[in-house]
Structure 1
Amino acid sequence: MSHTNKRFSIVLVWLLVWLVGSVLGTLVQSQINLNALQNLGVGIPLDTRLHTTIHDLGNFSPVYAVIFGCSFAVSQVVALLFTRFTGTAWRTFWCVFGAALGLWVTFKVVDMIAPMPILISSTRTAGGMFSMLAAAAVSGALFSKLSTRKLSAGPALAVLLVAGFALPPGEVLAQAGKSYKIETFVDGLDSPWSMAFLPDGRALITEKPGQLRLVGADGKAMSKPLGGVPQVFYSGQAGLFDVLPASDFVQNQQIFLSYACGTRSANHLCVSSAKLGTNSLENVKEIFRSQMAKSGSAHYGGRMAWLPDNTLIVTLGDGYSYREEAQNLSNHLGKIVRINADGSVPKDNPFVGKQGARPEIYSYGHRNVQGLAYDTANKRLIAHEHGPRGGDEVNVITPGTNYGWPKATYGIDYTGAQISPFKEYEGTQQPAIYWVPSIAPSGMTVYNGDMFPQWKGNLLVGALKAQQVSRVVLKGNKASEEEVLFKEVGARFRDIRTGPDGAIYLLTDSSDGKVLRVSAR
């Protein structure tokens, strides 16, 4: 065989094995994800398993093919070079070892640059990672075997034609007619995360890197960062989150802060109480630290709200790489908790006295709860949480209820893989409203002002990705109306609040962030 024909044959072999490896890796990750659900007690019939696998072959495999293809191309070229020096007897070893090592290195590189800590969910565990690398090793062995033979171009190219795919189009919602004006209330903020008004009209604003600022009622006088703020773990999604004045703030000047604490390899969501002094916080005391410790810097939750009985609600996330823990009552990941103002556990919490359950847990089966509000008029607690790619949810929270994640979801993974084949599952609560595609909700208020009487009692849900506010009308536990607002601002909204003046206040998510004031014309 001429050198030209030999090189052409090797290229065809590589393309064929690349396709086989992409399909094989997809099959492996599908079964790993489904087995993780089975370990939670989810029943998965054979036809459901088959349907999920076919879905992933159409949606996950194109993403994986790019990742696997990059690693496989480099690893097999290097393997063939090593073979020249060590002899053909080592050819299979180098191809197998190179395919596995190359994919492992590629996974690590992708995880460093991807938005989330781990892009391919099946690699979250050592067993899952080993299985994916084993699939790559099989591809390496196949390449070693076939690349010593002459391969006809016709059949190989015919097989490769099945690798095409298409992405669904996005959806755009219309902007309603304007009955408001938008002005800058405060600017020059470093990634503002939350805002809370004090009884005298001043406002506290948290900045994710760990600063807390006090702003005058007119927005013109902003303090330097206040001293005494607890040490914050700041990385990725981790940082200083919510600020909440005590229900009796006038008497005791007490506030509460939620924040990420610890190190990258072992961190938690923490809540501290403190007295607001002139230029600094005083009497700072940690009252809650989530358990278990997790690694990475994603999915903390971090919103807080008071119930009428003066108990404190705190939302948490699943830690991203620990999603099955949202169904495990022995830890706080993927939960909403309820504690007293001193950090003690209310005796009527739903899991008090249940063996193996954390007594602080109020509800579970959540992904990353970043919106929370108590609807005083209807006496209900409302929360929203991020889905993955689609499946953002608004839920009316009742104690002891399972909200489904990851057993049931309307979203799919960022790679296109299915997380669960079920949108509904027995024993779990359906959302009041969900979004597909994702809007990335963050911040929420039940509008209770007089400036916009037509919106009174409505939910106003901020969004990061969609750069909008969704006005949602709830009838019971279901949404009956939705309208998109403030799209023209063109900013990611991290938080939204009803001001004491009846105006709506929007925090923009940026290193040069602002608070915008929305008032009636």
Structure 2
Amino acid sequence: MEKRVGWFRVLGAFLIALIMGVLAGSLVQTQFNLLALRNLGVEIGLGTRLQTSLEDLVNFAPVYAVVFGASFLVSQLVASLMIRQLELRGRAPFLSLGAAVGLWVTFKLVDFLAPMPTLIAATRGAGGMVAMLATAAVAGWLFAHFSRRRRGLPRHLAIGAVIITLGWMAPQESALADASSGYRLETFASGLEHPWSLAFLPDGRALVTERPGRLRLLSADGQQVSEPLAGVPKVFASGQAGLFDVLVAPDFEQSRHIYLAYACGTWSANHTCVARGRLVPNGLDDVREVFRSLPAKTGDAHYGGRMAWLPDATLILTLGDGFDYREEAQKLTSHIGTIIRINRDGSAPEDNPFIAEAEALPEIFSYGHRNVQGAVYDWGNNRLITHEHGPRGGDEINVIEGGTNYGWPVATLGLDYTGARVSPFTEYDGMASPALDWTPSIAPSGMTLYDGDLFPEWQGSLLVGALAARRVHRVVLSNDGAVDMETLFGELNERIRDVRTGPEGAVFLLTDSPEGRVIRVTPW
């Protein structure tokens, strides 16, 4: 009987320490996220701070409980065995140290395995990391304190701790139904490794990029796929980094110029770059870099990488926030998290919105973006339309106006991947709200503004590819916002990386996989 009671005491002590560690860790990560916004000049009142902290206890704490719980269990078992084997005096310091070291190792392991560079945003900086580890150390001390022989916990308290640690049931999410219109899907080209972008040449042939760093030429009928073209700049290919968009110059028939967007540099110092080259029979000639984003960043996530021409022949390039650098999107001293506008030679146009501000980078056209991977110019309505990835929800379609702040990370409709609040604000004074948002996230990719004749019912619609949703969304944009009308091509069940309108009105899709394809969509 004494042994059974002892186990209840240890179990109760462990669960109480675990609960306190999870609650403390959740509160700490919230305060560091809010501090990052405060450092941008965002006003956060006490009521907002409390509400955000409570929301994170509901949404973030269950996720953190899994991460912290695994590390705490293993670390306390290892520390307890070491104390017993080495006959160490004083359990509390060793259990505290073990909990902190165990959590640090777990953070590093999770960040290595997870698709995002840093799972828990508060740990992006040294201060946040130390604070999170301190909460683990306190939990280790509590476990040592409550599990002492003369500090037994009542059995009902141990049972209550078990009940508190039960998980939350996640609500089911709904999705739009696929449309069942009459179209035919056929493989136009295959054998492509993670194709990223497609651009048609005046003679009907097409250029296609592959994320690992290859550019290929497709015949007009798709039957021939060239060997990789020579002259492509050296690409940093890792994770989301690689060769991105390809864009044909407006005067291609005279200049033969094409533009490539790509990641350049190394893991520890990389950028989004743009190069211009002249297309010759076997590849590219006279290739030179015309733009490189600043500053350099570490990691391989969130590059943007879409390009579009404006009516004055200036070039738009979309950029990402690098995932761990989201606050940079609010700084005009950084290209990270912006859309830039440059001349064809890479210089900044004299009428760019921030050209006269001494501290601002002259190429910036708009800012406050997360990861913009879709961009089209609507020639009929004279407007630039983009979309960007939110985190967990909050994907956006925006109509871009020069000089405008689009909110990230101060205002967003999405949560972090852990369920934590990125910001307490879904809108903020002086920042533009999206024309349309998607929650849950569809992970939007390439898009086209359909202007062909083969599908009259799609005329003027945005066809937005979706990676996570594995389909295409047809969106109608108006002066009052946008409406997600229907989803298409879900029967493919493939990640859609790019969507293009072909020369004769067919729709072309790129599938994002190691055995990627170009799919041609025509009417029945």
Judge same fold: TM > 0.5, yes or no.
yes
- Which position in structure 2 is the counterpart of 1:404? 407
Contact 1:252–1:275 (CA<8 Å) still a contact in 2? yes
**Equivalent-residue separation in structure 2 for 1:254 and 1:384 (angstroms):** 27
Contact 1:303 1:314 in 2 (8 A): yes
Q: What secondary structure sits across from 1:301 in the alignment?
A: coil
Q: Structure 1: which amino acid aligns with 2:345?
A: D
Instruction: Out of 353-362 and 434-443, give the one that drifted further.
Output: 353-362
Cα deviation 1:74-96 (Å, max 9, x = unaligned): 11112222222554534222111
Q: Which residue of 2 aligns with 1:40?
A: 40
Structure 1 window deviating more from structure 2 (80-89 vs 99-108): it is 80-89
Q: Which residue pairs with 1:146 in the alignment?
A: 146
2:180 corresponds to 1:177: yes
Tell me, yes or no, if structure 1 residue 277 matches structure 2 residue 276: no
8 Å CA contact 1:67–1:106 kept in 2: the answer is: yes
Equivalent residue number for residue 393 of structure 1: 396
Conserved? CA contact 1:386–1:441, under 8 Å: yes
Paired position in structure 2 for 1:105: 105
Return the offset for 1:448.
1.1
Shift of 1:2: 3.9
Q: Distance in 1 between matches of 2:280 and 2:102?
A: 56
Offset from partner CA, 1:459-500 (integer Å, 9 cap, x none): 111000001111111112511452211111111100000000
Aligned to 1:27: 27
Structure 2 equivalent of residue 155 of structure 1: 157
**Alignment equivalent of 2:257, drawn from 246, 249, 254:** 254
Once the two structures are TM-superposed, the CA of residue 34 in structure 1 deviates from its matched residue by 1.1
Deviation at 1:126, TM superposition (A): 0.8
Deviation string 1:289-309 (CA, Å, 9 cap, x unpaired) is: 100111010000000011010
Residues 21-50 of structure 1 deviation map (CA, whole Å, 9 limit, x = unaligned): 111111111111111111111111222111
User: What's the secondary structure of 2:384's corresponding residue?
Assistant: strand
Which residue identity is paired with 1:33? N
Q: Does 1:460 align with 2:463?
A: yes
2: CA distance, partners of 1:2 / 1:278? 85
TM-score of the superposed pair, with normalisation by structure 2: 0.98
1:400-454 Cα deviation digits (max 9, x unpaired)? 0000000110100110111111111111101110000000000011111111122
Q: Is the 8 A contact 1:19 1:160 kept in 2?
A: no
Indicate if the aligned counterparts of 2:450 and 2:463 stay in contact, CA closer than 8 A: yes
Answering whether residue 117 of structure 2 is matched by residue 117 of structure 1, we say yes
Amino acid at match of 1:123: T
Match of 1:63?
A: 63
Amino acid at match of 1:18: L
Task: Give the corresponding residue for 1:375.
Answer: 378
AA in 2 matched with 1:391: G
Structure 1 residue identity aligned to 2:461: N
Q: Secondary structure at the match of 2:335?
A: coil
Structure 1, residues 64-118: CA drift from partner, whole Å, max 9, x if none? Answer: 0011011111111122222225545342221111111100000000011111111
1:330-479 pair list within 5 angstroms = 330-476=333-479, 478-479=481-482
1:215-254 maps to which residues of 2 (within 5 A)? 215-254=218-257
Mark the CA change 1:97 to 1:503 in structure 2 (over 3 Å): closer, same or farther.
same
Distance in 1, matches of 2:43 and 2:470, equals 38
CA contact (8 A) 2:11 2:158 kept: no
The answer as to whether partners of 1:311 and 1:341 remain within 8 angstroms in 2 is: yes
Where structure 2 has 5 or more consecutive residues not aligned to the other structure, the ranges are none
Which residue identity does 1:216 align to in structure 2?
S
Partner of 1:51: 51
> 1:171-219: per-residue Cα shift (whole Å, max 9, x none)?
1211223121111111111100000001111000000000100001111
The one-letter code sitting in structure 1 at the alignment partner of 2:333 is S
Equivalent-residue separation in structure 2 for 1:97 and 1:104 (angstroms): 11
Give the Cα separation in 1 of the matches to 2:437 and 2:287.
38
Superposed CA offset, 1:110-133 (max 9, x none): 011111111111111111111100
Q: Alpha-carbon deviation of 1:159?
A: 3.6
Contact 2:15-2:161 at 8 Å conserved across structures: no
Structure 2 residue aligned with 1:96: 96
The residue correspondences of 1:277-356 to structure 2 (distance < 5 A) are 277-356=280-359
Q: Secondary structure of the equivalent of 2:89?
A: helix
Alpha-carbon separation, structure 2, partners of 1:177 and 1:500: 25
TM-score by length of 1: 0.98
SS in 2 for 1:291: coil
What corresponds to 1:6 in structure 2? 6
- Matched to 1:222, the amino acid is V
Distance in 2, matches of 1:355 and 1:93, equals 53
Amino acid at match of 1:457: G
Distance 1:240 1:468 in 2: 23
Question: Which 5+ residue runs of structure 1 have no aligned equivalent?
Answer: none
Shift of 1:10: 1.3
Amino acid at match of 1:136: A
- Aligned partner of residue 443 in structure 1, secondary structure: strand
Give me the whole-angstrom Cα distance separating, in 2, the residues matched to 1:370 and 1:245.
18
- Is the CA contact 1:392–1:435 (under 8 Å) kept in the aligned structure 2? yes
Contact 1:269 1:300 in 2 (8 A): yes
In the alignment, the residues of structure 2 paired with residue 240 and residue 42 of structure 1 have an alpha-carbon distance, to the nearest angstrom, of 36
Q: Which amino acid aligns with 1:161?
A: I
Please state whether the residue corresponding to 1:89 is helix, strand or coil: coil
* Matched AA of 1:513: G
Question: 8 Å contact 1:208–1:239 — kept in the other structure?
Answer: yes
2:126 aligned residue: 126
For the residues of structure 1 that align with 2:101 and 2:117, how far apart are their CA atoms?
Answer: 20
> Amino acid of the residue matched to residue 23 of structure 1?
L
Q: Secondary structure of 1:27's match?
A: helix
Could you tell me the percent identity over the aligned residues? Answer: 59
